[in-house]
Amino acid sequence: MNTINNTDFYFPKQQAVYKGKVREVYTIDDHLLVMIATDRLSAFDVILPKQIPFKGQVLNQIATKMMQQTQDIVPNWLIATPDPNVAIGHLCTPFKVEMVIRGYLSGHAAREYKLGKRMLCGVEMPNGMQENDQFSTPIITPSTKADNGAHDEDISREEILAQHIVSKEDYLILEDYTRKLFQRGTEIAKERGLILVDTKYEFGKTKDGNIVLIDEIHTPDSSRYFYADGYQERQSKGEKQKQLSKEFVRQWLIENGFQGKEGQQIPAMSNAKILEISKRYIELYEQITGEKFVKSDVSNVLTRIDNNVLNYLKQ
């Protein structure tokens, strides 16, 4: 199976290339960004050695649909998607924080809670909760936006303002947008029989100073979903929740002795595990969109992307 690991394009009027953990971003003529979703898989801020078939397409197409379904409440950077793995949008200056919002005590929050911590990013978590319980009100727990290869770190609202990472005026807008997007995402998930557990949003400023949503939204890489059916019953029995997210990858890595810590070795991932992960990503796509996933032609995937982007830019 042809997967996308690295790209090396040169588009007309190209000025710069940024390679993130999963996406590669080309700056065009100082006003456009061409964002390519690769099939790379990252966990614990580490890029894993093997790629996941169709993962990039899943991420890009979910993000596109969710941008379209939320643009009435929050403006976003997106202009066009000329290829299943490509999004083209306005050049923005990103804020150096990720706005993480949690409706439930899961994932990183649950791991911190089990260690006895009751404060996360300056937000108090109530005593007496069990893993995957719902918070009375969703909590915002930001993280720093690390450069490629570095770890994102928890940070509080107070620290963000004190360090002048974001101005107070802008940060209040980020918080407001984050809550509105999470509410809309929760409603969309509910229609599909899912629970949006937690997610992260990234924002940037356009050249004219407008704050817009950038990057991805409500994808399995940025979000955690539970199946709504049976949630309460599983919770009352103390059972694990049936979920669709990248958390199952993290759990497999933890079980095999890897959490991205120094000295730990990434476990070998079999072809069967690779295909299982691919199927889980496709399952999430179909669940959250309500549409059948159509696999793109990957016989010569890089040529396909190059041609589609060039044809769009010529217009």
pLDDT of res. 249: 87
List domains and CATH numbers for the chain: 94-248 (3.30.470.20)
Burial of 209 (0-12, 13-18, 19+ CB in 10 A): exposed
pLDDT of res. 148: 52
Q: How far apart are CA 59 and CA 38, in angstroms?
A: 9
Whether the CB-CB separation of 22 and 38 falls below 8 Å is answered with: yes
pLDDT of res. 150: 56
pLDDT of res. 246: 78
Q: Where are the alpha helices (DSSP H) in the chain?
A: 55-70, 107-114, 157-162, 168-191, 231-236, 247-255, 271-289, 301-314
Query: 111-170 pLDDT, tens per residue?
Result: 999 999 999 999 999 999 999 999 999 999 999 986 655 567 999 999 999 999 999 999
How is residue 58 written in tokens?
A: 């899943």
How is residue 165 written in tokens?
A: 């990472």
pLDDT of res. 151: 64
Burial of 146 (0-12, 13-18, 19+ CB in 10 A): middle
The stretches in the chain having pLDDT less than 50 are none
Question: In percent, how much of the chain has pLDDT > 70?
Answer: 98
Taking CA 148 as the corner, what is the angle to CA 146 and CA 149, rounded to the nearest 5 degrees? 95
